[in-house]
Amino acid sequence: GLYSFLFEISEDQTYKIEDKRLIVFELDEVKDNKEVLSVMLKLIKSAIQRTIWKNRAEKGIILFDEFAKQLKFENVLESVEFYYQAIRKQNGA
C-alpha cells in the first residue's frame, strides 16, 4: 500500500531494535493522521513481538503515555485492548 516502503528490508541493518534497552515511539506528530497512526501501530506491534515477547526471561514494560486523543480512532483502541490482554498473558507489564 501507500506506506509499504516502511516495511522493506534493506542491506543496512543498523536500525534494528532487538538489542535496545529502551524504545520510544513518539506519536504526537501523527496523532491526527489516521493512516500514519495505523502504520505506527503496526511498527509498535512488530517491535513488541521482536523484543519483549521473544525473550521471556527478561520482563518487558510497555507504557502508553498521553495517548487519550488517539483513542478516538477505532484501530488504536483495538490495539491497546490486544496489548493489554497479550501482555498480561506473557507475564509482562
Give me the DSSP letters along the chain: -TTGGGG---S--TT--TT-S------GGGTT-HHHHHHHHHHHHHHHHHHTTT-TTS-------S-GGGGGSHHHHHHHHHHHHHHHHTT--
- Percentage of the chain modeled with pLDDT above 90: 0
pLDDT tens for each residue of 32-69: 787 888 888 888 888 877 777 777 777 777 777 777 77
